[in-house]
Chains A and B, each alone.
Chain A
Amino acid sequence: MTQEVSTASEQIAMGPAFWIATTIFLLAYGLIMYEKIHKTIIAIFGAALLIVIGIVTQEEAFTSLELGVDWNVIFLLVSMMIIINIMKPTGCFEYIAIKSAKMAKGRPFMIMAIFSTVTAIVSAFLDNVTTVLLIAPVTLLICQALELDVVPFLITEALASNIGGTATLIGDPPNIMIGSKAQLGFMPFVYHLTPVIIVVLIAYVISIKFIFGRKIVVKEELRQRVMAMDENAAIKDPVLLKKSLVVLAVTITGFVIHGMLDLQPATIALFGAGLLLLVSGIKDPHRVLAEAEWSSLFFFIGLFIIIGAVVKVGLIKWMSIKVLELTHGNLFGTSMIVMWFSAFASAFIDNIPYVATMNPLIIDMAKQLWPNLSGVELLHHPDLMPMWWSLSLGACLGGNGTAIGASANVIVVGMAEKMGRPISFKKFMLYGMPLMIESVIICMIYVWIRYYVLKI
C-alpha cells in the first residue's frame, strides 16, 4: 500500500509568477469565504486579472483541457437547469410532494421520512439547491396545515438532499467536477457511490426517527386538511409533463449508456435540453434560458481559470508533494485523510472551490506516484480510485456539518427565517454535525472494506 514518493519540490520554480498566482488564488479564496463581495464577482475578476497579468493566456483559460474552463461541467449544469426550468411549471414536483404527504396519511414522522427519502432520490438526479427549492415550499405548506414546526422538516430535507446528491455523477456539482477531471462516467458513480449512499440514507432516516420521532405530533382533525388535498390539481400542463418525463427518461438512459455511445455526460444533458426545448412547443426560449443560474455558472468559469493558473505555476504540484510527504505515500491513509479533511473543510467552506483545488492536486499526486503513466491509465489507476470516491463522499457529505456547508442548507435557513422561525448556526450544527460524522464514518468503513480489504 505504501508507495515511493519522489521528493520533487526542487522541480517547482517558485518565481514571481508562482507568487503572484498564489497570492491572487489565496486572496480570491479568502474573499469568497469572507462573503462581503459576491463570490461570482471575485471569481470573474480574479480570473480576468490572471489573464491580464499573463499568468495564463486567454487561449489556455478558454480552451486548454488541463488549465482552462471545464466546459463539461458548465454544459452539464446549464443543460440540467434548462430541463428543470421547462418542467417546473407542469406541477409535477408539487404533485410528488402532495402525494408523498398523503401516502404518509398526514402522520408527521412519516411525512418527514418520506419527504427526506424523496428529496434524496430527486437530488440524485437534480442539483441539491433545485431539489430543496422544489420540495421545501410544499413542506412549509404541509407543516402549516398540520400546525407543525417547520424547522426539523427543513433541516432534514437539506441534509437529505446533500446525501442523495452524493449518489450519482449529476447529483452534486463536486461529483460533476470529479467525473470530468477523472474521466469517470455516470455508471462508475452509480457502481461505487450509490450503494454506500443507500446505507447512509437508511441510517439517516433511523437517526432522525430517534431525534425527532417523538417530538412531532399532530391532531387528528388537522391531518384531514392534508388528506383533503387533491394532488391531481397540481398538474397544470399534462401534455408538457408527459413530454418532459419522456425526455427525462431518454436523458437518464443516455447517462447510463453514455460510455457505450462514446459520448460525454455533458453531451447527453445538452441533447436532453435541446430535445425538450424542441418538443415542448416553447416559442421563445428566453425565460427558460434566463432562469438558469448564471451567477453559479460564472462562478465556476472564474474558478476554473483561477485554479488553472495555480496548476500552471506549480502551486498544486507543491501541495500534492506535501500531502504525500505527510502520509509517506500510504494510500489508505491518504484516502482517509482526503475523506475526513474534505468533510470538515466542506462543512465550513464552499465545496466547489475546494473540489476544484483537490482535483488537480490528486492528479498531481498520482503523477508523483506513477510517473510513467498518463491519461486514463493514470486517472483510473486501481490505487487512485478510492481517492476520487473519498474526495466525493467527504466533500459532498461534509456540507451537512453546518448551516453554511452547502447551498441547500443556506436556502432552508433563509426560508425558515422568512417564516419567522430562524435557525441559528449552532442549532443547525447540533443536528447537522453528528449526522455528518455518522455518514462519513459509514463511508470510511465502506471505502476501507471495499477497496482495501475486499479490493473490489
Chain B
Amino acid sequence: MWIYHPLKAGDKMGGCMKAKDIMIPFQDYLKPDDTLRAAVKLFKTAVRGEQKTGVMGLPVLDEKGKLVGMLSMMDILRAVYPSYMSMMNLGDFTWDGMLESFAKQAGYKKVKDLMTRDVVTVREDDPLMECVDHLVKNRVRRLPVLDKTGKVVGMLYVRDIFFAITKAMLEEDSGGVK
C-alpha cells in the first residue's frame, strides 16, 4: 500500500524542492473515448493521496500512454452548461429540471470532446517556484509531471504546493522564535 506523505522529514525545505518531491505518483487516468459517465465515476474513486479518494481533474492518455489532455470538474460543468448561456446574461431564464436533463444528455459525451488539449505540464526536476508560476499564470489547479521521456509519472496538485508553502512559512516562524 502506498502511503502519502506530503512532506517527509528531511525533505529539502532549505534547498530547492522539486516537483517530484511532492507529486502524487501517477495512477489513475482517462482515455479519450471514455464517456463522461465513466469519467465522473473515476473522479469519485481516483486516489488522491493520504489514502483519500476523489479528484477534481484527471489526465487523459491515448493508447500509447501519451498525454493528450486533461479533464477537470470545470470541463464537466461546461459539458452540462449550454454554450449560449455564456454568450449573454441568461441565468435568470432557466427552468425546473434543466440541469438534471442536460446532465443526463452530457453523460454520453466523449472525454476527447471536452478535455483541455493544451495541457500545462512540468518536469519532475522542475523547482516548485516554476510549478507555482505555471499554476498562477495558466490558472490551473493541477499539473501532470513528466519524466525525461515525456511519460506522465505523477500529478502535482495546488493543495500540495500550498502545504509546502505553509510548511516553509511556519518553519520560518519557529526559526524566528528560536
Contacts and interface: CB of A to CB of B under 8 A. Distances in A.
A456 to B, nearest CB: 43
B89 to A, nearest CB: 6
B149 interface: no
B57 to A, nearest CB: 23
Interface string A56-100: 000000000000000000000000000000000101011000100
A134 B88 contact: yes
A98 B93 contact: yes
A228 B97 CA distance: 14
A26 interface: no
Interface string B76-100: 0000001111011110110100000
B84 A141 contact: yes
Contacts of B90: 94, 137-138, 141
A309 interface: no
B89 A234 contact: yes
A138 B88 contact: yes
B84 A228 contact: no
Given A136-B84, A234-B92, 17 more contacts: A89-B89, A133-B87, A134-B88, A137-B85, A137-B88, A138-B84, A138-B93, A140-B84, A141-B85, A141-B90, A145-B95, A229-B92, A229-B93, A233-B92, A236-B89, A415-B83, A415-B84
Contacts of A93: 88
Q: Please indicate which of the listed interface residues A94, A141, A145, A229 has the most CB atoms of chain B within 10 Å of its own CB.
A: A141
Nearest to B95: A225
Q: Please indicate which of the listed interface residues A98, A136, A234 has the most CB atoms of chain B within 10 Å of its own CB.
A: A234
A293 interface: no
Query: What size tier do the contact residues of chain B reach?
Result: 10 to 19
Nearest to A144: B82
B135 to A, nearest CB: 26
A131 to B, nearest CB: 13
Interface of B: 82-85, 87-90, 92-93, 95
Nearest to B88: A137
A418 interface: yes
The 9 nearest A-B residue pairs measured at CB: A137-B84, A233-B92, A140-B84, A137-B87, A225-B95, A137-B88, A229-B93, A418-B83, A141-B90
A138 B95 CA distance: 14
B95 A228 contact: yes
Contacts of A228: 95
A interface: dominant SS: helix
Contacts of B84: 136-138, 140-141, 415, 419
A145 B102 CA distance: 11
B83 A233 contact: no
A149 interface: no
Given A93-B88, A94-B88, A141 B83 contact: no
18 contacts: A89-B89, A91-B89, A94-B88, A94-B93, A98-B93, A133-B87, A138-B84, A138-B90, A140-B82, A141-B85, A141-B90, A229-B92, A229-B93, A230-B92, A234-B89, A236-B89, A418-B83, A419-B82
B93 A233 contact: yes
Nearest to A236: B89
A89 to B, nearest CB: 7
Q: Please indicate which of the listed interface residues A140, A145, A233, A418 has the most CB atoms of chain B within 10 Å of its own CB.
A: A140
Nearest to B91: A233
Q: Please indicate which of the listed interface residues B82, B83, B90 has the most CB atoms of chain A within 10 Å of its own CB.
A: B90
Contacts of B87: 133, 137
B106 to A, nearest CB: 10
A72 to B, nearest CB: 31
Contacts of A89: 89
B102 to A, nearest CB: 8
Q: Please indicate which of the listed interface residues B85, B92, B93 has the most CB atoms of chain A within 10 Å of its own CB.
A: B93
A141 B93 contact: yes
Contacts of B82: 140-141, 144, 419
A104 to B, nearest CB: 15
Contacts of A225: 95
Nearest to A90: B89
A419 B87 CA distance: 13
A228 B87 CA distance: 22
A94 B89 contact: yes
A324 to B, nearest CB: 48
